[in-house]
Amino acid sequence: MENMSDKNLCSDFQEYANYLKERTQFFKEENARLEMIFKRLKLLNDEMRIPTDISETVSEIKEALLNKLPTTHSMSQTERLRKHNNYLSKLKICIKIYVNINEKLMEDIKVTKRELDSSKQKLSGLLNVSSEQLLQLEEKAKRYENEVLKFEKKYPWLKDPMFNLPNISKEMEKLRELKETKEKLVKELSVYQDLKPDIHEASQQLAQIKEEHKKVSSMWC
Protein backbone atom coordinates (compact mmCIF):
# COMPACT_ATOMS: atom_id res chain seq x y z
CA MET A 1 0.00 0.00 0.00
CA GLU A 2 2.81 2.35 0.87
CA ASN A 3 4.55 1.68 -2.46
CA MET A 4 1.27 2.32 -4.30
CA SER A 5 0.74 5.66 -2.56
CA ASP A 6 4.36 6.63 -3.34
CA LYS A 7 3.81 5.78 -7.01
CA ASN A 8 0.60 7.83 -7.12
CA LEU A 9 2.38 10.72 -5.43
CA CYS A 10 5.27 10.50 -7.89
CA SER A 11 2.79 10.39 -10.77
CA ASP A 12 1.06 13.51 -9.50
CA PHE A 13 4.35 15.31 -9.12
CA GLN A 14 5.38 14.15 -12.60
CA GLU A 15 2.26 15.72 -14.09
CA TYR A 16 2.81 18.88 -12.09
CA ALA A 17 6.45 19.03 -13.22
CA ASN A 18 5.38 18.71 -16.86
CA TYR A 19 2.83 21.44 -16.32
CA LEU A 20 5.46 23.69 -14.77
CA LYS A 21 7.79 23.04 -17.68
CA GLU A 22 5.12 23.97 -20.23
CA ARG A 23 4.14 27.10 -18.33
CA THR A 24 7.79 28.10 -17.93
CA GLN A 25 8.36 27.81 -21.68
CA PHE A 26 5.21 29.82 -22.35
CA PHE A 27 6.20 32.61 -19.97
CA LYS A 28 9.76 32.66 -21.33
CA GLU A 29 8.32 33.43 -24.76
CA GLU A 30 5.94 36.00 -23.29
CA ASN A 31 8.77 37.55 -21.29
CA ALA A 32 10.93 37.88 -24.41
CA ARG A 33 8.09 39.63 -26.23
CA LEU A 34 7.36 41.96 -23.31
CA GLU A 35 11.06 42.67 -22.82
CA MET A 36 11.27 43.86 -26.42
CA ILE A 37 8.25 46.14 -25.88
CA PHE A 38 9.62 47.62 -22.67
CA LYS A 39 13.03 48.15 -24.26
CA ARG A 40 11.37 50.25 -26.92
CA LEU A 41 9.48 52.16 -24.25
CA LYS A 42 12.62 52.41 -22.07
CA LEU A 43 10.67 51.15 -19.06
CA LEU A 44 12.47 47.86 -18.43
CA ASN A 45 14.34 47.52 -15.15
CA ASP A 46 15.96 44.68 -13.24
CA GLU A 47 12.84 43.94 -11.18
CA MET A 48 10.87 43.06 -14.30
CA ARG A 49 13.34 40.49 -15.62
CA ILE A 50 12.48 36.83 -15.07
CA PRO A 51 15.02 35.03 -12.88
CA THR A 52 17.30 33.10 -15.23
CA ASP A 53 17.78 30.29 -12.74
CA ILE A 54 14.08 29.34 -12.71
CA SER A 55 14.16 27.59 -16.08
CA GLU A 56 17.42 25.87 -15.13
CA THR A 57 15.93 24.45 -11.94
CA VAL A 58 12.91 22.90 -13.70
CA SER A 59 14.96 19.85 -14.64
CA GLU A 60 16.19 19.60 -11.04
CA ILE A 61 12.60 19.75 -9.78
CA LYS A 62 11.55 17.08 -12.26
CA GLU A 63 14.43 14.79 -11.26
CA ALA A 64 13.69 15.30 -7.56
CA LEU A 65 10.00 14.52 -8.08
CA LEU A 66 10.78 11.32 -9.95
CA ASN A 67 13.28 10.02 -7.42
CA LYS A 68 11.93 11.20 -4.10
CA LEU A 69 9.60 13.62 -2.37
CA PRO A 70 10.07 17.33 -3.11
CA THR A 71 12.90 19.01 -1.29
CA THR A 72 12.85 22.42 0.33
CA HIS A 73 14.88 23.79 -2.57
CA SER A 74 12.48 22.51 -5.23
CA MET A 75 9.44 23.80 -3.35
CA SER A 76 11.04 27.22 -2.94
CA GLN A 77 11.70 27.37 -6.68
CA THR A 78 8.07 26.38 -7.32
CA GLU A 79 6.89 29.16 -5.02
CA ARG A 80 9.13 31.63 -6.82
CA LEU A 81 7.69 30.52 -10.15
CA ARG A 82 4.13 30.90 -8.83
CA LYS A 83 4.84 34.42 -7.60
CA HIS A 84 6.45 35.29 -10.91
CA ASN A 85 3.39 33.98 -12.79
CA ASN A 86 1.16 36.19 -10.65
CA TYR A 87 3.44 39.13 -11.35
CA LEU A 88 3.27 38.50 -15.11
CA SER A 89 -0.54 38.32 -14.96
CA LYS A 90 -0.67 41.69 -13.24
CA LEU A 91 1.87 43.04 -15.70
CA LYS A 92 -0.31 42.00 -18.66
CA ILE A 93 -3.25 43.86 -17.15
CA CYS A 94 -1.09 46.95 -16.67
CA ILE A 95 0.10 46.71 -20.27
CA LYS A 96 -3.49 46.58 -21.55
CA ILE A 97 -4.36 49.64 -19.48
CA TYR A 98 -1.24 51.41 -20.75
CA VAL A 99 -2.10 50.60 -24.38
CA ASN A 100 -5.65 51.94 -23.96
CA ILE A 101 -4.38 55.12 -22.31
CA ASN A 102 -1.76 55.52 -25.04
CA GLU A 103 -4.37 55.14 -27.81
CA LYS A 104 -6.67 57.67 -26.13
CA LEU A 105 -3.75 60.06 -25.70
CA MET A 106 -2.81 59.72 -29.36
CA GLU A 107 -6.38 60.59 -30.39
CA ASP A 108 -6.36 63.64 -28.10
CA ILE A 109 -3.00 64.71 -29.53
CA LYS A 110 -4.35 64.45 -33.09
CA VAL A 111 -7.39 66.58 -32.20
CA THR A 112 -5.23 69.15 -30.41
CA LYS A 113 -2.82 69.27 -33.36
CA ARG A 114 -5.68 69.92 -35.79
CA GLU A 115 -6.98 72.72 -33.55
CA LEU A 116 -3.48 74.18 -33.26
CA ASP A 117 -2.97 74.14 -37.03
CA SER A 118 -6.35 75.83 -37.53
CA SER A 119 -5.49 78.51 -34.94
CA LYS A 120 -2.11 79.12 -36.58
CA GLN A 121 -3.79 79.66 -39.94
CA LYS A 122 -6.25 82.13 -38.42
CA LEU A 123 -3.48 83.98 -36.60
CA SER A 124 -1.32 84.10 -39.70
CA GLY A 125 -4.22 85.74 -41.52
CA LEU A 126 -4.48 88.40 -38.82
CA LEU A 127 -0.75 89.00 -38.61
CA ASN A 128 -0.46 89.41 -42.36
CA VAL A 129 -2.60 92.57 -42.38
CA SER A 130 -0.79 95.31 -44.26
CA SER A 131 -0.29 98.87 -43.01
CA GLU A 132 -2.71 100.13 -45.68
CA GLN A 133 -5.43 97.82 -44.40
CA LEU A 134 -4.80 99.06 -40.84
CA LEU A 135 -5.17 102.66 -41.99
CA GLN A 136 -8.42 101.80 -43.73
CA LEU A 137 -9.74 100.19 -40.56
CA GLU A 138 -8.78 103.26 -38.50
CA GLU A 139 -10.54 105.57 -40.96
CA LYS A 140 -13.61 103.38 -40.87
CA ALA A 141 -13.64 103.47 -37.04
CA LYS A 142 -13.34 107.29 -37.04
CA ARG A 143 -16.24 107.63 -39.49
CA TYR A 144 -18.34 105.37 -37.29
CA GLU A 145 -17.55 107.48 -34.18
CA ASN A 146 -18.48 110.68 -36.03
CA GLU A 147 -21.79 109.19 -37.14
CA VAL A 148 -22.55 108.15 -33.56
CA LEU A 149 -21.84 111.69 -32.28
CA LYS A 150 -24.14 113.19 -34.91
CA PHE A 151 -26.88 110.74 -33.98
CA GLU A 152 -26.52 111.54 -30.26
CA LYS A 153 -26.73 115.29 -30.96
CA LYS A 154 -29.86 114.77 -33.02
CA TYR A 155 -31.44 112.54 -30.37
CA PRO A 156 -30.06 113.68 -26.98
CA TRP A 157 -32.48 111.44 -25.11
CA LEU A 158 -30.23 108.51 -26.07
CA LYS A 159 -27.80 109.67 -23.38
CA ASP A 160 -30.46 109.23 -20.71
CA PRO A 161 -29.35 106.38 -18.34
CA MET A 162 -32.87 104.96 -18.57
CA PHE A 163 -32.10 103.91 -22.12
CA ASN A 164 -28.90 102.10 -21.29
CA LEU A 165 -28.81 98.44 -22.17
CA PRO A 166 -29.04 97.22 -18.52
CA ASN A 167 -32.15 99.33 -17.91
CA ILE A 168 -33.68 98.26 -21.19
CA SER A 169 -33.11 94.63 -20.29
CA LYS A 170 -34.86 95.21 -16.93
CA GLU A 171 -37.85 96.80 -18.64
CA MET A 172 -37.98 93.94 -21.12
CA GLU A 173 -38.04 91.50 -18.22
CA LYS A 174 -40.96 93.41 -16.64
CA LEU A 175 -42.83 93.32 -19.94
CA ARG A 176 -42.25 89.61 -20.19
CA GLU A 177 -43.62 89.06 -16.67
CA LEU A 178 -46.67 91.25 -17.43
CA LYS A 179 -47.28 89.29 -20.61
CA GLU A 180 -47.17 86.01 -18.69
CA THR A 181 -49.58 87.42 -16.07
CA LYS A 182 -51.95 88.57 -18.81
CA GLU A 183 -51.90 85.16 -20.49
CA LYS A 184 -52.71 83.48 -17.16
CA LEU A 185 -55.64 85.86 -16.51
CA VAL A 186 -57.00 85.40 -20.03
CA LYS A 187 -56.82 81.65 -19.55
CA GLU A 188 -58.65 81.85 -16.19
CA LEU A 189 -61.35 84.20 -17.48
CA SER A 190 -61.89 82.34 -20.74
CA VAL A 191 -64.38 80.03 -18.96
CA TYR A 192 -66.68 83.07 -18.44
CA GLN A 193 -66.39 84.32 -22.00
CA ASP A 194 -69.70 82.91 -23.31
CA LEU A 195 -71.77 83.69 -20.16
CA LYS A 196 -74.49 86.40 -20.41
CA PRO A 197 -75.48 88.52 -17.35
CA ASP A 198 -79.01 88.31 -15.94
CA ILE A 199 -80.25 91.95 -16.13
CA HIS A 200 -83.34 91.38 -13.98
CA GLU A 201 -81.35 89.71 -11.18
CA ALA A 202 -78.73 92.43 -11.33
CA SER A 203 -81.44 95.14 -11.00
CA GLN A 204 -82.88 93.46 -7.93
CA GLN A 205 -79.43 93.22 -6.32
CA LEU A 206 -78.81 96.91 -7.07
CA ALA A 207 -82.16 97.89 -5.50
CA GLN A 208 -81.35 95.89 -2.38
CA ILE A 209 -77.98 97.57 -2.09
CA LYS A 210 -79.63 101.03 -2.38
CA GLU A 211 -82.17 100.16 0.35
CA GLU A 212 -79.41 98.98 2.67
CA HIS A 213 -77.46 102.14 1.94
CA LYS A 214 -80.50 104.32 2.83
CA LYS A 215 -80.99 102.46 6.10
CA VAL A 216 -77.37 102.91 7.08
CA SER A 217 -77.51 106.61 6.14
CA SER A 218 -80.70 107.18 8.20
CA MET A 219 -79.10 105.57 11.23
CA TRP A 220 -76.27 108.10 11.15
CA CYS A 221 -78.52 111.11 10.59
For 160-202, what is each residue's pLDDT tens digit? 777 777 778 888 899 999 999 999 988 887 776 666 667 777 7
| CA neighbours closer than 13 Å in the CB half-sphere of residue 205 | 6
Query: Domain range spanning residue 62?
Result: 2-99
Residue 92 lies in a domain: yes
Domain count along the chain? 1
Residue 180 lies in a domain: no
The per-residue pLDDT for 71 is: 53
Residue 135 lies in a domain: no
Residue 111 lies in a domain: no
145 to each of 68, 141, 149, 166, 183, how far by Cα in Å? 105, 6, 6, 22, 43
The per-residue pLDDT for 27 is: 76
Residue 168 lies in a domain: no
For 36-59, what is each residue's pLDDT tens digit? 776 666 554 444 444 445 445 555
Residue 12 lies in a domain: yes
Q: What is the rounded radius of gyration, in angstroms, for the C-alpha atoms of the chain?
A: 48
